[in-house]
Amino acid sequence: MISISRSASARVLLAFIVVVLNACSVIEKQEQTEAAKPVEETSESGSAAPVKAEEQEALSVNPYTVKRSAVPAAAQQRFTRAMEQFRQGELSGAERAFESLTRDYPSLSGPWLNLGLLYQHSERSALAPAQFEAAIRANSLNLNAYNQLGISLREQGKFEDAERQYLAALAIWPDHPSSHRNLAILYDLYMGREAEALVHYRRAWQLAPDPTLRIWMMDLQRRVSTDRKSEG
């Protein structure tokens, strides 16, 4: 079934940190390996302040966490077993288990998303987008599915399509750090839209401060400032 190297298996394991079936989430790690070079956000002065404690209360709430649907006990048990198979390196068994869950519980987005992640990190990555799309159909609030689909499309060179997925996620939750981060990576590394990348990297860092992200941001800020001076 699925063929995957040891190193790839380790990366996928990070991606398979899942809390519940509807929200299997890996985007944080996936995003961190998404950028091959620094790009994050600072203000024009070269720094950006993270969101203050008193400002956190004003942030919107992730609608996915608010509208999370109930998961049948039987489905949860099967999902847990599938995850254990994966952790043990039984990837073919995990694939069959997730495929079975998508047939028996098509309205749960988690199995679709994890099946897509298995494909994404195997020799069958071309099959991954369809699984991420199915996850979105199952739960239109699954922001991780939008982001994984965006990453998959970006890897295929479909940059505008990837952009639409990240923007769709932000339309659902404007304060989603991962969507801001991935969109900034796309703009900076693949679409040459550095000024727009700065806007999203700044917001990503404000929402979820990350030392690496800050280094990327400062590097991009310097490049943007240099370009402006040369144009002047």
**Predicted confidence band at 231 (pLDDT cuts at 50, 70, 90)?**
low
pTM of the model: 0.76
C-beta separation of 39 from 219 below 8 A: yes
Which amino acid type is present at position 109? S
- Tell me how far apart the alpha carbons of residues 120 and 137 are, in angstroms, rounded to a whole number: 19
pLDDT at 28: 32
Structure tokens at 200: 């999203």
**Predicted confidence band at 10 (pLDDT cuts at 50, 70, 90)?**
very low
- Tell me how far apart the alpha carbons of residues 2 and 115 are, in angstroms, rounded to a whole number: 11
Which amino acid type is present at position 208? A
Question: How many other CB atoms are there within 10 angstroms of residue 202's CB atom?
Answer: 23
DSSP E strand stretches across the chain: none
Give the torsion sign (CA, 90, 96, 97, 98): positive
If 0-12 CB within 10 Å is exposed, 13-18 middle and 19+ buried, where does residue 110 land? buried
Which of 87-91, 167-171, 182-186, 197-201 has the weakest average pLDDT?
Answer: 87-91
The pLDDT of residue 127 is above 80: yes
**Predicted confidence band at 4 (pLDDT cuts at 50, 70, 90)?**
low
- Tell me how far apart the alpha carbons of residues 199 and 188 are, in angstroms, rounded to a whole number: 11
CATH second-level architecture of 6-53+71-231? Answer: Alpha Horseshoe (1.25)
pLDDT > 70 in the chain, percent = 72
pLDDT at 36: 27
Query: How does the average pLDDT of the chain come out, rounded?
Result: 78
